[in-house]
Amino acid sequence: MKHVDESVIVSLCPDPIIGVDGAGIVRIFNAAAEKLLGYAAADVIGVLSIARIYPSLDDARKIKKLIYSDDYGARGLIEGYESALVCSDGAVVPIRLSAVIMDEDDGGSIGFFHDLTERYDLERQLHILSVTDELTGLFNQRHFYKVMAKELDRAKRYHHPLSIICFDLDDFKQVNDSLGHLEGDRVLRTIGELLKDTLRQIDIPVRYGGDEFMVLLPETDIQAAAKTAERIRKAFNTKCAYSIDKGAGVIAKVSMSLGVTETNGTEKPDQVVQRADLAMYESKSSGGNSTVLIKQHIGDVVQAGPSGGERI
């Protein structure tokens, strides 16, 4: 095989290659490094310190320290270390680094960088899919319980209020039966949009299942949560109220039944959800289109019905 100059191999490599001397000054900067970081090789070779392209001086020092340890390979070698680089425009790019010391006396080394942007984007998209309800764009039930456990712990630790709204639709089956499931889906999507427009950034709206929804309200007592529930109900009545003529002169209106409760964080998630659910069903059993409150009782005694629920 005909001998090929090493500089040609470096220049043709599809991944960024950066070589530095013992003082950390860039001595090798191939075309792929130019493309990734936005620097021209002529402007950095012999001038730029490698520390300038790491997010912080500590990051640069850590990598230099690692190459002299055996944490990510043999001494003098790093294999597969994940970090980040800073581009000329300030953008931060996730990378995987493999590096080797080229000169023990001088301390110079050469690094091979692989851009992890696509992998990170894919992981981020997969995470979003795993916690999101596809139809409404709200969080799903699994994510709800995960976040709720954390919020209960925070409410207990810092003695902060935490409330939950539980609601579903009255006579929603009429929409599906009379207008079709596509129209039913449109209503559910509208609820997703409505919640995003109505709630604060710290609130956690969830499609719990079917036409049942939950809203987790950190830093919110039951009275403030009840006002939020009423805003949701009134907004829905404005956007999605249906009057369906069933052909027998009977008109069915689609509305919301909402239940609200609060917790001091000393309960399990299922206990709080059950109480909010009871409040919602009290609203529904009393004709719907209303909000019912059930406060947390000492000893976890829940009273549903006229003696336990406060109607709005």
pTM attached to this predicted model:
0.75
Output the CA torsion sign for 117, 119, 120, 122: positive
CA angle centred on 156, ends 153 and 160, rounded to 5°:
110
Q: By mean pLDDT, which of 8-12, 115-119, 144-148, 258-262 is the weakest? A: 8-12
Counting DSSP H helices and E strands in the chain, the numbers are: 10, 13
**pLDDT for the residue numbered 66:** 83
> H-type helices in 132-221, by residue range?
141-158, 172-179, 181-198
Q: Which residue type is seen at 179?
A: L
- Give CA–CA dist 296/263, Å, rounded: 6
Length of the chain: 312
**pLDDT for the residue numbered 248:** 47
Of 263, 252, 309, 251, nearest in space to 283 by CA: 309
- List, in order, residues 6 or more apart from 85 with CB less than 8 Å away: 36, 37, 53, 54, 92, 93, 95, 113
- Dump pLDDT digits (tens) for 187-216: 999 999 999 999 999 999 999 999 999 999
19 or 8: which leads in pLDDT: 19
Q: What value does the mean pLDDT take over residues 63-87?
A: 80
- Give CA–CA dist 58/55, Å, rounded: 8
Of 8, 287, 288, 286, nearest in space to 304 by CA: 286
* 291, 311 contact by CB (below 8 A): yes
Q: By mean pLDDT, which of 82-86, 184-188, 247-251 is the weakest? A: 247-251
211 is catalytic: yes
**pLDDT for the residue numbered 81:** 92
Would strands 290-294 and 255-263 be described as parallel, antiparallel, or unpaired? parallel
**pLDDT for the residue numbered 245:** 52
* pLDDT for residue 8 is more than 70: no
Q: Which of 72-86, 107-121, 208-222 has the highest mean pLDDT?
A: 208-222
- Give CA–CA dist 66/81, Å, rounded: 9
- Full set of structural domains in the chain with CATH: 6-120 (3.30.450.20), 132-311 (3.30.70.270)
Angle between helices 141-158 and 117-131 (to 10 degrees): 90
- Give CA–CA dist 102/22, Å, rounded: 10
* pLDDT for residue 6 is more than 90: no
- Dump pLDDT digits (tens) for 280-290: 999 999 999 99
Confidence of residue 1 (pLDDT cuts 50, 70, 90): very low
- Give CA–CA dist 188/302, Å, rounded: 30
φ/ψ of residue 199, rounded to 5: -90, 165
Output the CA torsion sign for 184, 186, 188, 190: negative
**pLDDT for the residue numbered 219:** 97
Q: What value does the mean pLDDT take over residues 79-94?
A: 95
Of 291, 289, 294, nearest in space to 276 by CA: 294
* pLDDT for residue 76 is more than 80: no
**pLDDT for the residue numbered 310:** 64
Q: Give me the residues paired with residue 167 across strands.
A: 213, 258
* pLDDT for residue 252 is more than 70: no
Cβ-count burial 231-241 (b if 16+ within 10 Å, e if not): ebbebbeeebe
**pLDDT for the residue numbered 235:** 93
φ/ψ of residue 45, rounded to 5: -65, 125
Q: What value does the mean pLDDT take over residues 275-300?
A: 87
For residue 160 the two structure tokens come to: 């902060």
- Give CA–CA dist 118/124, Å, rounded: 10
> Of the listed 168, 170, 211, 277, which one is catalytic?
211
